[in-house]
């Protein structure tokens, strides 16, 4: 559990560094991007190792049938992750599509995982996304102009279905079949 918590702290710190210490981040120049990328990579590694080694300590029992809700929410989450990249009709309407996708991803996983490590990991990432939005919202938002419109949404939908299939395949490979309700 220690590695999981260290990974979460590093994740939070690396993401909030720019806003918490803007002068220090600016002094790093372009090198700062590399440092942040390395910190985020290390955070991911620590979280994965920490989560997989944490053991199963039940906190609550997920309700029956939550796998369907999880899968539906995951489709929405993955779609939101692509909004900024495909620049469809939602692009100029949502300020934080990736962070909202992260919050939905977090909630979806908490619906089907009731153990302490899942609560720490998914709850910690979801809480980070909410804090990140609150911090970003302290600055004015220049609403972007739509670029691709419905074409962007169609591209995002196709990408969402492909990525969701890949994510499901990785989960099945790891022994957690999201379609049969077998979760770790």
| Averaged pLDDT for residues 141-164 | 91
Say what the pTM is.
0.90
Residue 146 has pLDDT above 90, yes or no: no
- Smallest CA-to-CA distance from 182 within 62, 29, 24, 96 is with 62
- What is the residue range of 37's domain? 1-54
Cα–Cα distances (Å) from 105 to 26, 123, 131, in that order, read 31, 10, 16
For residue range 21-40, what is the model confidence (pLDDT) as tens digits? 888 888 888 888 899 999 99
Judgement on whether residues 142 and 184 belong to the same structural domain of the protein: yes
Judgement on whether residues 40 and 79 belong to the same structural domain of the protein: no
For residue range 79-124, what is the model confidence (pLDDT) as tens digits? 999 998 898 888 999 999 999 999 999 999 999 999 999 999 999 9
Displacement of CA 58 from its chain's centroid (Å)? 23
Judgement on whether residues 37 and 91 belong to the same structural domain of the protein: no
**Among 64-68, 103-107, 139-143, 146-150, where is mean pLDDT lowest?**
146-150
Higher model confidence: residue 84 or residue 9? 9
Residue 184 has pLDDT above 50, yes or no: no
Judgement on whether residues 108 and 181 belong to the same structural domain of the protein: yes
Higher model confidence: residue 176 or residue 114? 114
| Averaged pLDDT for residues 122-151 | 93
Query: Does residue 142 contact residue 133 with C-beta atoms inside 8 Å?
Result: no
Judgement on whether residues 33 and 70 belong to the same structural domain of the protein: no
Judgement on whether residues 22 and 70 belong to the same structural domain of the protein: no
Judgement on whether residues 93 and 45 belong to the same structural domain of the protein: no
The last residue of a domain, from among 32, 54, 76: 54
For residue range 53-82, what is the model confidence (pLDDT) as tens digits? 998 999 999 998 898 999 999 999 999 999
Return the percentage of the chain with pLDDT > 70, whole number: 98
pLDDT of residue 27: 86
Judgement on whether residues 125 and 170 belong to the same structural domain of the protein: yes
Residue 7 has pLDDT above 50, yes or no: yes
- E strand or H helix at 156: helix 150-173
Count of structural domains, the chain: 2
| Averaged pLDDT for residues 153-180 | 91
User: Torsion-angle region of residue 175: left (phi > 0), alpha (psi -120 to 50) or beta?
Assistant: left
């Amino acid at each position: 559990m220690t590695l999981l918590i260290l990974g979460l702290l590093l994740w939070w710190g690396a993401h909030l560094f720019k806003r918490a210490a803007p002068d220090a981040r600016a002094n790093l120049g372009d090198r700062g991007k590399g440092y942040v990328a390395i910190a985020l990579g290390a955070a991911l590694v620590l979280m994965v190792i920490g989560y997989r080694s944490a053991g199963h300590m039940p906190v609550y029992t997920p309700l029956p049938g939550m796998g369907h809700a999880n899968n539906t929410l995951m489709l929405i989450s993955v779609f939101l992750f692509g909004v900024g990249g495909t620049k469809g009709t939602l692009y100029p309407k949502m300020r934080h599509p990736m962070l909202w996708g992260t919050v939905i991803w977090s909630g979806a996983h908490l619906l089907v995982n009731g153990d302490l490590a899942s609560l720490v990991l998914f709850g910690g990432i979801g809480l980070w996304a909410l804090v990140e939005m609150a911090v970003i919202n302290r600055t004015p938002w220049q609403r972007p102009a739509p670029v691709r419109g419905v074409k962007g949404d169609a591209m995002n939908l196709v990408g969402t279905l492909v990525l969701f299939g890949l994510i499901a395949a990785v989960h099945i490979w790891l022994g957690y079949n999201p379609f049969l309700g077998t979760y770790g």
